[in-house]
Structure 1
Amino acid sequence: MKKGMAGAKLGIFIFLGSVLLVIGIFMLGNKEALFKDTYTVKAYFHNIEGLRNGAPVRLSGIDVGAVKEIRIIGDTVSVLEVSMRLLTEIERFIRKDTYAEIQTEGLVGNKIVSLKMGNSEGEQVEDGGMILSREPVNFADIIEETQGIMAYTKEMTKDLSEIVQKVNTGDGTIGKLLNDDDLYYAAANLTESADRSLLSITSELNIVTQQFNKLGAGIESVVTNVNNVVARLDLLLLSVSEGKGVIGSLLKEGTTQDSSFTAILTG
């Protein structure tokens, strides 16, 4: 009887130990903090790109929690709610404008959630609160776009190869110019003749410009002399009108004599 009780106790002990071991392995596999205080925050995505429960949550590259639950919101899969269990000790860094972003470890590694800190003066997120989210990069779209670019590049390379082939065989204007020596020398002579003509025209224009400059200087001198003569005439007329000088005196005396003669006749 005692041996039976001892065996039962041993079996129960082994069973409980196995259960605890499995739970411990599960918790460690999910990277849960077994002996630290945690709290929950939520973020909403339209696409989680294969993110799973237990995926690590990192802040500035440091593991600060794990994905607790992923569930569909509403009747469609257009919105997915990701609940994250975070260490309470980093609660002061999680603000209302903190956002979560789903990233990939390595090139084809597992998905993780990366937290980007917001304004340090913003309001803290309470337990069960929501933070912002940024949609993950869709590698399928990138690959599809890359394939389109590669196809376009292939077609462009093919066209360029055909053009080079035509040039080498002397087809087209460029091909004839490069492969026909007579045409090449004719084009070179034409270019040289055009250069000489342009140089001659430029020289003649310089001569004409110099002549215009000299003519402009002469005209400016004549205008200056005319202005001086006009100024002197103005001064002379002013002196005459004021009775100054010989002419002014004669005009003034003549006026007086005419007045006296007129007075005698009328007397």
Structure 2
Amino acid sequence: MKAENKRNVIVGIFVFVGIAILVAGVLTLGGQQKKFVKAIHLKAVFDDIGGLQAGNNVWFSGVKIGTVRKINFYGDSQVEIEMNVEEEVVEFIRKDSKATISSDGLIGNKIIVIYGGTTMAPPVEDGDRLESVMPLDTDQMMETLQVNNENLVEITNDLKDLIGKLANGEGIVGAVLTDSTLSDNFKIIVANLKQTSENSNRMLAEMNTFTQKLNKEGNLFNDLVTDTTMAVEIRDAMGSLKAAAENSEQMTEELKVITDKFNSQDNSIGVLLNDEEFANNLKQTMINTDSATYNLNRGLEALEYTWPFKKGFKRKAKAEEAAKENN
């Protein structure tokens, strides 16, 4: 009898422990699944849920606030997600919030992430449907990564070949890296460029100094630039020079006309300047006139010694001598 009671007690203890473990498990799972908290139902419609299952978690601002309650087909090819969301966080989720599908870690379970929303919109209510945002396609992203990896391998191979050619002295760059003569020439070029740069800087400094001198008050250039009165005077002088140039041009045209008349034989001056026969006749006339004048002078001198005029010339000579004595 005592042995049977002892066995019953042991069995009862094991049963109690089992029930306690079962209750603890149920409570734990219920707590994780938010089964024993007050919740509201929210919905979201996606084109593809990417393996999301009922019971997966719902997150908001990095905090788990509920679970996926149910997955239903919606419309032609879409999927509607029903979520249980804790009632105590409803005031923080706005009607303009968005829902998207993400992963719990890099390769973890799929989850629903609620984000966004503004204080201008009211809090959500039971049965509201949130705007859904399609997540990035992991498969497509992996394909892109695979293509990038292949491109990276090709780039690495090309870089390896390039470095090998440079090490062997192939090409201009390789020759520069391996040929000491080219290296020395390159150094000389760099030194010349440095000297040129220094000369340019010095020239710029001198030009700056020269410019400052030009801008100094009292300088002619500064007066020309800043003195409005001088500008007006220069403008007037240029106008006068322009008028003088125009007058000179007109005078040149008139001189050209006169010169053309001189070169023509239809006027007296033109005949004098251009008719050779007339010039010879005029020359001969001048010679004859000079000869006649010479003979006339000799004739007048001879009159002094002729009898009719001799007394007259004597009286004239006496009068001239008397005039000289009086003076």
Q: Shift of the alpha carbon at 1:83?
A: 0.7
* TM-score, with structure 2 as normaliser: 0.51
Residues 1:180 and 1:61: Cα distance change in structure 2 (over 3 Å): closer
Query: Is the 8 Å Cα contact of residues 42 and 85 (structure 2) preserved in structure 1?
Result: yes
Q: Shift of the alpha carbon at 1:99?
A: 2.0
Q: What residue number does 1:110 align with?
A: 109
SS in 1 for 2:83: strand
1:174-232: CA deviation from partner (whole Å, max 9, x where unpaired): 111121222222333344345546656766786688678768876359979x97xx9xx
Query: Is the 8 Å Cα contact of residues 30 and 36 (structure 2) preserved in structure 1?
Result: no
After TM superposition, list the pairs within 5 Å mapping 1:1-267 onto structure 2: 28=29, 31-76=32-77, 79-116=78-115, 118-193=117-192, 195-196=194-195, 219-220=220-221
SS in 1 for 2:145: helix
Q: Shift of the alpha carbon at 1:48?
A: 1.3
Query: Is the 8 Å Cα contact of residues 214 and 222 (structure 2) preserved in structure 1?
Result: no
Q: Shift of the alpha carbon at 1:168?
A: 1.1
Query: Is the 8 Å Cα contact of residues 45 and 74 (structure 2) preserved in structure 1?
Result: no
Q: Which runs of 5 or more structure 1 residues have no equivalent in the other structure? A: 1-17, 231-267
SS in 1 for 2:100: strand
Q: Which runs of 5 or more structure 2 residues have no equivalent in the other structure? A: 1-18, 234-327
Instruction: Provide the rounded CA distance (Å) in 2 between the counterparts of 1:197 and 1:34.
Output: 82
Residues 1:80 and 1:173: Cα distance change in structure 2 (over 3 Å): same
Residues 1:200 and 1:54: Cα distance change in structure 2 (over 3 Å): closer
Residues 1:45 and 1:30: Cα distance change in structure 2 (over 3 Å): farther
Which 4+ runs in 1 deviate beyond 6 A? 204-217, 221-224
> 1:114 is aligned with what amino acid?
V
* TM-score, with structure 1 as normaliser: 0.61
CA RMSD of aligned residues (A): 3.9
Instruction: Provide the rounded CA distance (Å) in 2 between the counterparts of 1:185 and 1:156.
Output: 32
Residues 1:128 and 1:175: Cα distance change in structure 2 (over 3 Å): same
Q: Number of matched residues?
A: 205
Q: Shift of the alpha carbon at 1:43?
A: 0.5
1:26-46: CA deviation from partner (whole Å, max 9, x where unpaired): 994695544443321111112
Instruction: Provide the rounded CA distance (Å) in 2 between the counterparts of 1:46 and 1:30.
Output: 30
The higher radius of gyration belongs to: 2
Of residues 202-211 and 53-62 in structure 1, the stretch that sits farther from structure 2 once superposed is 202-211
Query: Is the 8 Å Cα contact of residues 53 and 67 (structure 1) preserved in structure 2?
Result: yes
Query: Is the 8 Å Cα contact of residues 30 and 55 (structure 1) preserved in structure 2?
Result: no
Residues 1:95 and 1:207: Cα distance change in structure 2 (over 3 Å): closer
Residues 1:172 and 1:128: Cα distance change in structure 2 (over 3 Å): same
Structure that is richer in helix per residue: 2
Residues 1:40 and 1:168: Cα distance change in structure 2 (over 3 Å): same
Q: Alignment identity in percent?
A: 29
> 2:46 is aligned with what amino acid?
F
